Amino acid sequence: MRIYVDAFGGDNAPLAAIQGAADAVKAYGHTVVLCGDEQAIRDCAAANGVAMDGIEICHTTDVLTMDDEPKSILKEHKNSSMGVGLQAVAAGEGDAFVTAGSSGAVLMGATFIVKRIQGVSRPAFASVLPSGTKPFLLLDMGANAECRPEMLLQFAQMGALYMSKVIKQSEDVTVGLLNNGVEEHKGGDLQQQAYKLLSESDLHFIGNVEARAVPYGAADVVVADGFSGNVLLKTMEGTADMLLKNIKSIFHTNLLTILGGALVKPYLGSLKKKMSASAHGGAPVLGVRKTVIKAHGNANRVAFMNAIRVAAEAAQADIPTRIAEAMATKAEDVG
């Protein structure tokens, strides 16, 4: 697999991307093409002792920053490190694209440079999140603040494919609809109509799930409009962060708690790791013609390596083609 990676996206650019690329080349044998200023990349790699074997560079000096308008990816910044990577993948020069840059820009670029799959109303951002038991997929988590019921059905179809082929590696994927109660009549018009569409689909729809049950792994795929999906995602992050910080400060209360903390620290570390999204490789934009993965803005070396691994797996499983087939079948059903 040939994976294009934006070397200048995210808080830890370009070092984390370079290190993650080198690790991914070594671990999985993929070719990684780093997009960005060639000299800066080579200097950074040399200064940090990162071997560039198996890594190519797609040179460009422009960078799209977090302050730039998302739509600038189509104009002023079409030749940014994000822009050239998206164009290369759209043109078939690579199998997948990874960036830790602006969410708005990558969504805009995925939609209008890589382009939507025919039949998909709106591409969605899907995030693989940790639960108390197993990871689950949440979508949409912010691309579409306002949704129609048919969009939620498509999100469920795309999410189930991704979960089945890339994350869970199993045909049995449960789908739940985020709602303010488990009863069928709950929610507003959007949820009630989406419930009906999901019930009639061939998905393994388990009904409404309440937000309280989501962190326990209530469903493999949780479907929501982008606004409430975003609220769910960020509330999980914020609550977990805040609690773990409070617990950390408890360990610094006195000598006995410092000792107590030292005794449980290794186990807390693995819990923190389990709660971290970075192991699952970031958020795919589903519904576009090539695999596009958005890594977290603060992605580190490990997160980049995982994002590249997952991007290659999604490309290998040919998720875009499978989604296109599912949409075509759907269109036939209707027509």
* Chosen residue from 170, 188, 202, 328 binding a copy of itself by CB under 8 A: 188
In the numeric block, which tokens belong to residue 298?
């603060």
In the numeric block, which tokens belong to residue 239?
């609550």
Does position 243 bind a copy of itself by CB under 8 A? yes
Contact region with a copy of itself (CB under 8 A), list: 107-115, 186-194, 277-285, 289-297: 186-194
For a copy of itself, the closer of residues 75 and 212 by Cβ is 212
Distance CA 245, CA 101 (A): 27
For a copy of itself, the closer of residues 9 and 14 by Cβ is 9
Distance CA 201, CA 19 (A): 43
How would you list the strands of the sheet with 55-59, edge to edge?
55-59, 31-36, 2-6, 96-99, 291-294, 283-286, 124-129, 136-139, 221-223, 174-179, 204-210
In the numeric block, which tokens belong to residue 118?
């025919």
The crossing angle, in degrees rounded to 10, of helices 226-251 and 255-275 is: 160
For a copy of itself, the closer of residues 55 and 151 by Cβ is 151
For a copy of itself, the closer of residues 24 and 141 by Cβ is 141
In the numeric block, which tokens belong to residue 157?
């179809």
Does position 236 bind a copy of itself by CB under 8 A? yes
Q: End-to-end CA distance of the chain: give it in Å, rounded.
A: 37
Does position 40 bind a copy of itself by CB under 8 A? no
Q: Residue 34 Cβ, how far from a copy of itself at the closest point, in Å?
A: 29
For a copy of itself, the closer of residues 29 and 238 by Cβ is 238
Does position 67 bind a copy of itself by CB under 8 A? no
Does position 244 bind a copy of itself by CB under 8 A? yes
Look at the block and give the residue holding tokens 């569409």.
Answer: 197
Contact region with a copy of itself (CB under 8 A), list: 23-31, 86-94, 169-177, 251-259: 251-259
Does position 72 bind a copy of itself by CB under 8 A? no
Q: 210: helix, coil or strand?
A: strand
Residue 171 CB neighbour total at 10 angstroms: 9
Distance CA 204, CA 172 (A): 7
How many residues of this chain bind a copy of itself (CB under 8 A)? 56
* Chosen residue from 111, 174, 208, 228 binding a copy of itself by CB under 8 A: 228
* Chosen residue from 83, 135, 215, 284 binding a copy of itself by CB under 8 A: 215
Does position 235 bind a copy of itself by CB under 8 A? yes
Sign of the dihedral through C-alpha 304, 68, 71, 60: negative
Contact region with a copy of itself (CB under 8 A), list: 84-92, 195-203, 266-274, 304-312: 266-274
Question: Which of the 8 DSSP states describes residue 280?
Answer: G
Task: Pick out residues in 105-164 that bind a copy of itself (CB under 8 A).
Answer: 131-132, 142, 145-146
* Chosen residue from 27, 262, 328, 331 binding a copy of itself by CB under 8 A: 262
Helical H segments across the chain, by residue range = 15-28, 38-47, 81-90, 103-109, 149-162, 189-200, 226-251, 255-275, 301-316, 319-334
Does position 279 bind a copy of itself by CB under 8 A? no
For a copy of itself, the closer of residues 27 and 145 by Cβ is 145
**Interface ranges with a copy of itself (CB under 8 A):** 131-132, 142, 145-146, 178, 180, 186-189, 191, 210-216, 224, 226-228, 230-247, 250-251, 253, 256-257, 259-264, 267-268, 271, 275
